Structure 1
Amino acid sequence: MFEAIKLLVGVVSLIMVYRTITGNCNKYLAFAICAIWLRYFLSAFHTITYPPLVAGFSINALGSIGVAGLGLLLIPTAVFTLKKLFPFYILFTAIAVSGFVNMQIPGTINVLVKWCYFLVLAGALFLSIRSQGQNETFKKLLVAFTMPVVLQVLSVVLGQAKATEADGSASYIGGYNHEAAFSMIIVSFIFVMGLIERNTIRFRVSLFTLAVFLLVLVNYRTAILTILPIAAVFYFTLVEQRLKPSQKAPILTVVTTLFIMVFFALSLSMQERFADVGLMLSNLDLIVKAPMYFSDAEQDIMSARVYIWSQYINAFLNADMVQQFFGFGPDSWKQRFALYAHNTFVSYLYEYGILGLSSFLLVCSILTLQPLGLKDKKLSKILILSFLGFLTMNLATMPLWNIEGLIFFSIFSSLVFGSQSAQLKVNHISKQLGI
């Protein structure tokens, strides 16, 4: 029954996508919309698209390879010479070297294809932002999210819930496979919606509020923590724009108090879901504790995440100097552990070593500091707070392991690269391409 609904919603959303890209839409944005829609469409039918089909590749994987390959042909080479991309190339090199040293060739190809997907999508959105502007680009990009958002609403209406693996609580994810990947779809939708200017689309505030509520229903606590700064900036800006200068101080004080009350109300209503966070913060020494010494109670902290981290860190600490520097290789965790690390930083330390983790931290530092140079200070604040929220999410899960997480990362990065700043190389490339 729900599979038929998925197909119907997918067809309707495809018609909407077609109407959008055949309107006033540049080819780069059309490519990005189609790429994102295709991923969300295929992932909705995970029972068909996830199992291996050809040469060990699933339909989902073949779709990602196709998008990455087409993007390399479509995106002008000049875009890939942006100086802002240099830290990413250092990371990609560290991944490739780690794979070569450990002879993890299939894993290396898999990881680099994902990052290639990120690169072409970020490049396409960058060109669209430089061509048609941020507002027009993101307004049209919303159509790619139609299918997953509508399916989640229908899953709530029809009671189509999934029992969360950790504690059996309900997660409404529209019939998708896992709440981790689906939560990144809604986070991306919230991010895009929050960056669209007032009076651009009807019911903007209502849609944003609905999206925040839908993310809560996904019941994935790390994603909820990610959007808190985005939501706070959105509602504060909304209130601030409607006030006279003399009214701002008293009314914003009241609004701040209201936000704090709402936050505590949500904390109490989801107390069981977040209780382990406080327990983990008060026992940080557990992270470096050898897994063999964990008690049964300690193994259950944060849905066993702390115990999983300790296993990876212990393996790293007991490795030789070469593997500590280069790591064990991309996707090497599959040969030793039953579960992935549930922490991007821990995973990168284990798989890519000190070199890979340092490269990733360089990328994170650049993306945190780069928005400081933007002319639009409001956008600068949104980007910095949003990225800090995203990094917080990476402490307890691995959004960059999924294409859905890389889609969010590409949207964010394209905005950092494409927004007006003092970066002369960006302006030079724009003139070369006639945008």
Structure 2
Amino acid sequence: MWQAGTAAILVGSLWLLLRQLGPMRHDRLTCLAFGLIWTRFALAALGPTAVQTEVAGQSLIAFATLLAVFAVAAATPLSVYRSDRAVPIYVIAALGVVGTVLSGAVGSLPGYVTIWVLFAALALLLNRAYALHGPGPVLRALLAVFALPLAMQLLSLAAGMPKFGPDGSASYIGGYGHESVFAIVALGGLWVAAILPWRDRRLAWLAVAVGVAALVLANYRTMLIAALPLLLAFALSGDRGLAARRLPGVLAVSAAGLILLPAMLPAGVFGGVTARFAELGTLAVEWDRFLKPPETFTAADKNVLSARVYIWSSYAAAVGEARLAPLLLGHGAETLAPRMSVHPHNEYLRVAFQHGLLGAAALFGFVIALAVAASRAAPRRAGVMTAAGFASLLLAAAGTSIFDRPEGMIVLAILTATAWNLTASRAPRPRAA
């Protein structure tokens, strides 16, 4: 059933995407950009098959992603890359390359370069698509792409095939290997559903509700928290704005939904969600208990937030103890802190450790600048929703790594292209070649 269902979803999602690309079918570069996103989502949906199958010494998902990224990048004219808006991207990527080479971690350069080529190509091509075709067709095509992972999640739910965590909680994530990977994709899909100019506001609420349900079923605490700015912006940004007198009604419906949620979720999901959020209370009440060197953490200390506090402390100590060159340029892409076998589960610490304070300032300065510019742009609703999308990413970055994986960079590229389009001067649209 699983193999047949996966095949049906892949075929169906590709057909749906091609239908949405119909008005843009003569624009080869736009079709390539959407094809790249769909390819990555489809490869991730294959689950263990894509990870365990080897091609040229690499997993199928890694090899096919690299091949697809550089095929699209090579097919894109150089004139697209000459955009002044892309200069910060090149600076950030170059800082990472320099720091990685100086630290001797050159073996991680292929993966690092692939990630940034993916981001640059997608951001520039989607920005071009916005300029040529307008936001409506582009956002509808994006919604079709994000339907693939959501359909895979529905398949895992229907087949009763969750992924069980160490605490016994269940996560429904389709064929995706980890909750964090699926959850960042679901967050991107939620943003598309929230910003899309639906003709009927009720359809917008339904689409957003589906996105929230996907995050809950993924059972990933970080992304549930990260979705809050996006949900708040959506609730307050109706066609005429949400009047203050309607806000109590929205809050009442939300509270009722939270009360009824345990009865609607499969066994194991809600218990995992509540247990994980309870740990946040422990951290808030006993925060001073964790202000100590990582080597002094007890076993009980390490268990809080799935060992995140201990991991954060270890990476923060490693950054603080670094010599000047690694402090500024980092220890290199994919490098782990001493005595650590996992990534920091915090993007601020990961970037500061791997790419130095200069790399962190450049990357997060770029993201924050885009968010601020989008918040001031017109149309007002689209600008606020885009700024909220960036805020959700920055909030998610506090609890997991985002910008070192293709799925996270795809979502960032979509937001970046949208912000560029919103802040562009409104000249007449060029015609597609």
Q: Structure 2 length as normaliser, TM-score? A: 0.89
Q: Which residue of 2 aligns with 1:228?
A: 228
Aligned amino acid, residue 94 of structure 1: L
User: Over residues 163-184 of structure 1, what are the superposed CA-to-partner deviations in whole Å (9 max), with x where a residue is unaligned?
Assistant: 124x221101113211110111
Inter-CA distance 76–256: structure 2 relative to 1 (3 Å threshold): farther
Q: Which residue of structure 1 lines up, in the alignment, with residue 90 of structure 2? A: 89
User: Is 402-411 or 263-272 further displaced after alignment?
Assistant: 263-272
Could you tell me which residue of structure 2 aligns to residue 365 of structure 1? Answer: 368
Query: Hey, what's the Cα distance between the residues in 1 that align with 2:201 and 2:77?
Result: 31
Pick from 291, 298, 303: which aligns with 2:301?
Answer: 298
Describe the shift of the 1:191–1:242 C-alpha distance in structure 2 as closer, same or farther (beyond 3 A): closer
| C-alpha distance in structure 2 between counterparts of 1:110 and 1:336, whole Å | 23
Deviation, 1:290, is: 1.7
Q: Using a 3 Å threshold, how does the CA distance of structure 1 residues 263 and 76 change in structure 2: closer, same or farther?
A: farther
Structure 2 stretches lacking a partner, 5+ long: 263-269
**Contact 2:315/2:337 (<8 A) preserved:** no
Amino acid at match of 2:359: G
1:235: Cα distance to partner?
3.1
Q: CA RMSD in A?
A: 2.8
Q: Given residue 280 of structure 1, which amino acid in structure 2 is its aligned partner?
A: L
Determine if the alignment matches structure 1 residue 209 to structure 2 residue 209: yes
How far does residue 74 in structure 1 lie from its aligned partner after superposition?
A: 3.2
Q: Deviations over 1:88-141 (max 9, x none)?
A: 222112101111111211212211211111111111111111111111111122
The aligned counterpart of 1:172 is 172
Whether contact under 8 Å (1:286, 1:306) holds in the other structure is: no
Shift of 1:283: 4.9
- The answer on 1:251 being equivalent to 2:246 is yes
Deviates more, 1:358-367 or 1:171-180: 358-367
Q: Which residue is equivalent to 1:57?
A: 58
2:280 corresponding residue in structure 1: 277
What is the aligned partner in structure 2 of residue 410 from structure 1? 413
Q: Is the 8 A contact 1:97 1:326 kept in 2?
A: yes
Paired residue for 1:75? 76
CA distance in 2, matches of 1:74, 1:100: 28
Residue 80 of structure 1 deviates from its aligned partner by 2.5
Q: CA deviation at 1:322?
A: 2.1
Partner of 2:101: 100
1:356 paired to 2:372:
no
Give yes or no for the alignment of 1:113 onto 2:108: no
Q: Deviations over 1:345-366 (max 9, x none)?
A: 1111111122212222221221
2:379 is aligned, of 367, 376, 399, to 376
Q: C-alpha displacement at 1:242, in angstroms?
A: 8.7
The letter for the 2-side match of 1:356 is G
* Higher mean C-alpha deviation, range 352-361 or range 301-310: 352-361
User: Runs of 4+ in structure 1 displaced over 6 angstroms?
Assistant: 263-269
Deviation at 1:23, TM superposition (A): 4.6
Aligned length: 424
Does the aligned pair in 1 maintain the 2:374–2:383 contact within 8 Å? yes
Shift of 1:402: 1.8
Q: CA–CA distance in 2 between the matches of 1:278 and 1:82?
A: 47
> Quick check: 1:226–1:386 contact (8 Å CA) kept in 2?
no
8 Å contact from structure 1 (residues 95, 108) kept in 2: no
More off after superposition, 315-324 vs 194-203: 194-203
Q: 1:242 to 1:363 in 2, by over 3 A?
A: closer
Alignment of 1:133-148 (within 5 A): 133-148=134-149
What do residues 156-208 of structure 1 show as CA deviations (whole Å, max 9, x unaligned)? 2222211124x221101113211110111211111111111122899443232
Match of 2:16 in 1: 16
Give TM-score scaled by structure 1 length: 0.88
Offset at residue 344 of structure 1 (A): 0.7
Deviates more, 1:228-237 or 1:291-300: 228-237
Of stretches 68-77 and 154-163 in structure 1, the one that deviates more from structure 2 is 68-77
Where in structure 1 are there 5+ consecutive unaligned residues?
Answer: none
For residue 48 of structure 1, report the CA deviation from its aligned partner.
2.2
For the 8 Å contact 1:64–1:114, the answer to whether it is kept is: no
- 8 A contact 1:2–1:175 mirrored in 2: no
Q: Which moved more, 1:338-347 or 1:372-381?
A: 372-381
